[in-house]
Amino acid sequence: MAAGRDELNRINVFPVPDGDTGTNMCLTLRAVSGALRDLGDGSAALPLPYVAETMAQASVRGARGNSGMMLSQFLIGFRDGIGQRLRVDAGELASAISLGFERLQASLDEPMEGTILTVARDAADEAGRARGESDLRVFISRIVSRAEAALQRTPELLAALKTAGVVDAGAKGFVRLLEGVKRLIEGGQVAQGAVDRVNGAPSAAALTDVESDRDYRYCTELMVRSSSLPDPAEVRKALRAHGGSIVVLSTGDLLKAHVHTDAPDDVFKLASTWGTLESTKADDMRAQHQALQARRAIAFVSDTACDLPDELVLQYDVGLVPMQLIVEDSSYRDRLELTSGEFFRRLRAGLDASTSQPAPQAFTDAYQDAARAADHVIAVIVSSRLSGTFANADAAARRFDPARVTVVDSHSASLGQGLLVIRGVELAAAGWQPEAIVRELLRVRAQSGGFFTVDNLERLVRSGRLGRGRAWLGTKLNLKPVMALTMEGKIEPVARVRGRDAARRRTLELLERALTPQPRALRMGVVHGDIPEFADALRAELVARYRPMQCLVTPITPVIAAHAGIGAWGVFYQNEDGTNAETVRYD
């Protein structure tokens, strides 16, 4: 799904051309995949009903937009079809897929052919026809082929699609989900890249006008919790007075509703009578459509060492260039073809890994994609003192168009680099010119930094950053190195202590010294090597102590984990006090 995100956004013309179907479906499935990864490292088999229930509940909580809600409905029905079975064959899978379609269809207030509904129906029908197949590879292949054929028919069933010359975005996203399942069954193949490069075609979403009978302003979502929720049919009936494109899903004590409306506050007031409002959202679709039609002034590119969470990469539309990761004899694009969770599982299994920088062409491709949507591109890259990545990014910029691409050496890595990207995006949104943004990033860079420590010295040995003799002695003495990212972008050891607790205390002492006097405009970030509980607790402590404007927490990307290892963690700070332009003030 992530591989087709931009293309799905580009062809999103129905029910409204707001250009976010790919993003919504991607975020919905990321919530599902995150919940499934949290179940464990895969070393122990889990009961199928438990996994299916986890998937369904996560899809409800994570469902985004009309398309995400519809996808969640299908997954809930699929869960119901699995029931309490510990194993399933093709026939039982066919029944589960059929229930998924029925649940999806029943949730819609205005079922429309030519959408995900059409593709899901044909997929369910083909599953029924293939229920006697003994080979699941043949079973899923038949379903995918039938779904693809149904997708190609969608323009004939929906006038808005035919006029725009595209297939339905939600339907295509559903096909991509089925294709991912097919790859897994056929041998664990992954999609080629996190984001497929688009072919330069104009955005159908931007060129399509909103149909007058669907011209509501706000895409509104809400989630309600209650032990006595109303029937979904009653909820749909109540919402009709407020708008259209209604989707309602309910599972357990949770109810989630989606509606396009001009009065979101009235919808929220109504929903509060059904139970406790747990979350609400109202996106201005007219503003989204206008933004699609308007060309951005500045787009941002970075590399995967920046450690920005997926949600922010999508929100800020940052182009990520993957570094290369070599595990055993296989090469992967960092973070795109191998996630942090999967990489940590491989490390725990004893597999070795090495890294390499992206080729200049990878940056050229990223600049081309960014330049299609913006007049200027700013690339914030991992420190030139740590990797040759910056040299390749700079060389690609000179070849592409040095007048349109500016490359910034972050003098950092991980969230030290990622926080600079966020600052740049905010300045661009505030109307700053590229030259002024670059000057501000360089100023902020000079008063920011980070500290980190590793729990095990083995990865430093394997990556060539520490001699085996020193590592042996350090392990025997339980020594933990504390290192700093200097203002020049180098890694330097600043302390050696015995034990994890001492490393934590010393790191926080160094941080306190660096943040004295305490900045008023401060961002912070916590990164970790598969120790989420520790990282969350540390984030809470930092927020209470320093009250930063923002404090992110995220696992380190595989290319950094290959050097730091499991149990590593770090804290980054970005001091934004002061400014080199009159347009920004801090209280």
Is 374 within 8 Å of 381 (Cβ atoms)?
A: no
Q: In 3D, which of 369, 419, 413, 365 has the Cα closest to residue 389?
A: 413
Which single residue is written with the structure tokens 């182009």?
319
Is 299 within 8 Å of 370 (Cβ atoms)?
A: yes
What are the tokens at 265? 């506050």
Backbone phi, then psi, for 108, in 5-degree steps?
A: -90, 135
Backbone phi, then psi, for 579, in 5-degree steps?
A: -160, 155
DSSP 208: P
Question: 482: Cβ–Cβ under 8 A, 6 or more apart, which residues?
Answer: 451, 452, 453, 493, 494, 495, 496, 497, 503, 506, 507, 510
How far is the C-alpha of 581 from the C-alpha of 439, rounded, in Å?
10
Q: What's 449-575's CATH class?
A: alpha beta
Q: In 3D, which of 352, 330, 4, 370 has the Cα closest to residue 172?
A: 4
Question: 444: Cβ–Cβ under 8 A, 6 or more apart, which residues?
Answer: 420, 423, 574, 575, 576
Biggest CA-to-CA distance, the chain? 74
Q: Which amino acid is at 326?
A: I
Is 302 within 8 Å of 316 (Cβ atoms)?
A: no
Ramachandran category for residue 64: left, alpha or beta (phi over 0 → left; psi -120 to 50 → alpha) = beta
Domain positions in the chain: 2-207, 213-289, 293-445, 449-575
Determine whether 237 is exposed, middle or buried from the number of CB atoms within 10 Å of its CB (0-12, 13-18, 19+).
Answer: middle
Which pLDDT belongs to residue 27? Answer: 84
> Hey, which CATH number is domain 293-445, 3.40.640.10, 3.30.460.20, 3.30.390.30, 3.40.50.10170?
3.40.50.10170
Question: 12: Cβ–Cβ under 8 A, 6 or more apart, which residues?
Answer: 18, 19, 20, 21, 22, 169, 204, 205
Helix (H, G, I), strand (E, B) or coil at 447: coil
Is 404 within 8 Å of 432 (Cβ atoms)?
A: no
Is 450 within 8 Å of 572 (Cβ atoms)?
A: yes
According to the CATH classification, is domain 2-207 in 1.10.150.80? no
Question: 174: Cβ–Cβ under 8 A, 6 or more apart, which residues?
Answer: 71, 74, 116, 119, 120, 123, 147
Q: Which amino acid is at 239?
A: L
How far is the C-alpha of 257 from the C-alpha of 237, rounded, in Å?
12
How far is the C-alpha of 371 from the C-alpha of 297, rounded, in Å?
10
Q: Per-residue b/e over 405-422, b at no fewer than 16 CB within 10 Å?
A: bbbbbbbbbbbbbbbbbb
Mean pLDDT by 10 residues, the chain (587 residues): 80 77 86 82 81 91 85 93 94 95 88 92 96 93 96 92 89 93 75 42 45 71 92 91 87 88 93 91 76 76 94 88 85 81 83 85 90 92 94 94 95 97 95 96 96 75 51 54 89 86 93 95 95 94 95 94 89 87 34
* Predicted TM-score of the model (pTM): 0.66
> Hey, which CATH number is domain 213-289, 3.30.70, 3.30.460, 1.10.238, 3.30.1360?
3.30.70
Backbone phi, then psi, for 404, in 5-degree steps?
A: -110, -10
Backbone phi, then psi, for 385, in 5-degree steps?
A: -85, -10
